[in-house]
Amino acid sequence: MAWLLRNVRVFDGLGFGDLRDVAVAGGLIASTGPDDASERVDGAGGYLLPGFIDCHVHLSGADTLDALASYGVTTALDMGSPAALAESLRGRTGVTDIRSSHLGATSPASAHAQRMRLPEDALLAGAEQAAAWVGRRTAEGVDYLKVIVDLPGFDQPTVDAIVRAAHARHRKVIAHASRLDAVQMAQRAGVDVLTHVPLDQRVDEGRAQALADAGAVVVPTLTMMKAIVDRVTTSGRPGPSYETARASVTALSAAGVPVLAGTDANDRPGAPASPPFGASLHDELALLVEAGLSATDAINAAGSVAARHFQLSDRGRIAPGLRADLVLLAENPLEDISATRTINGVWCNGVRV
């Protein structure tokens, strides 16, 4: 099907241009407008962004995809779900497109394993089991691998072995690291992406520069970090400060570490907090701006930068030949990042939500 979105200002990664039309054919952005467009949609002078990419969610069912899409999240990167669930949600029409790690790996001794009641196949007792575990996940068709590094948990040789086996099979490794010692362990092992930021100690300028020099990428999930701190504060127990997490993002961004947008959206019993699917991505963008990113950088963190670092070469920008994953806003988010919520239309691979 070919159709035309008229009178919109298109985001090019730096800003919005003059009013123009955007043509779509076969689910992709077309280079010219079709003469036989079956539909012409008036964008009313709105602001057109590439569909948002949430770089950290936990899928729970088809309703997850509906919720994400309704808020303009056209791609979601699942960071820990059973294989059968994740695979059942791939490739659906008119809703959020997904990628997945299936089950992540953690130590039987970890607090994560105890709290989340993870199945046996997610648990690794030591480095000698790493290659077999990576082999099972890649045979299932995972897009990348997830490993829980927080201590108590894995020792350094086990994390090293997982990363080595994953890279041998051409898979990126995403490391859950919400403590500074876990960040350091992940860095030594050569993980590709850090998800979360420490709540116990700030990543200072020196550590941030070392991570930048090592080619690290971070998905800070500030929405989740703030929700955890708020929950602890409400309980009346002493706990971490959100300022630690925000200051880490400020330092990492200033050092040149690529920052990607992710929320840790979930609805799982045992999770320390449960950011809502879709809506929390807009919270995340606002928190990234509060941490020092420009509005442009925050939008790219959920767009072209996220696509580049997760090798999603067919999306993240509005250009001929790419997927027509689109979000039409009524207001300019570069003037006020909260305008990402003024959604007038969402399209997933050319299909209107």
Residues 80-110 pLDDT 10s:
999 999 999 999 999 999 999 999 999 887 7
Helix (H) or strand (E) holding 193: strand 193-195
As to burial, measured by CB atoms within 10 angstroms (0-12 exposed, 13-18 middle, 19+ buried), residue 70 is: middle
pLDDT mean across residues, the chain: 94
* Residue 120's pLDDT band (cuts 50, 70, 90): confident
**pLDDT for 114 beyond 70:** no
**pLDDT for 316 beyond 70:** yes
The predicted model scores a pTM of: 0.96
Q: How high is the pLDDT of residue 57?
A: 98
Q: How high is the pLDDT of residue 108?
A: 81
Q: How high is the pLDDT of residue 269?
A: 85
Q: How high is the pLDDT of residue 1?
A: 80
Residues 210-243 pLDDT 10s:
999 999 999 999 999 999 999 887 656 666 889 9
Q: How high is the pLDDT of residue 121?
A: 78
At 283, the amino acid letter reads D
**pLDDT for 246 beyond 70:** yes
**Structural domains of the chain ordered from first start:** 2-49+316-352 (2.30.40.10), 52-309 (3.20.20.140)
CA distances from 178 to 32, 127, 341, 352 (A): 47, 22, 28, 37
Query: Quick one: which of 110, 72, 69, 111 has its CA closest to 92?
Result: 69
**pLDDT for 314 beyond 80:** yes
* Residue 31's pLDDT band (cuts 50, 70, 90): confident
The CA-to-CA distance between both ends of the chain, in Å, stands at 15
3-state helix, strand and coil shares in percent for the chain, rounded to the nearest 5:
35, 25, 40
Residues 256-283 pLDDT 10s:
999 999 999 999 888 889 999 999 999 9
Alpha-carbon distance 270 to 187, whole Å? 28
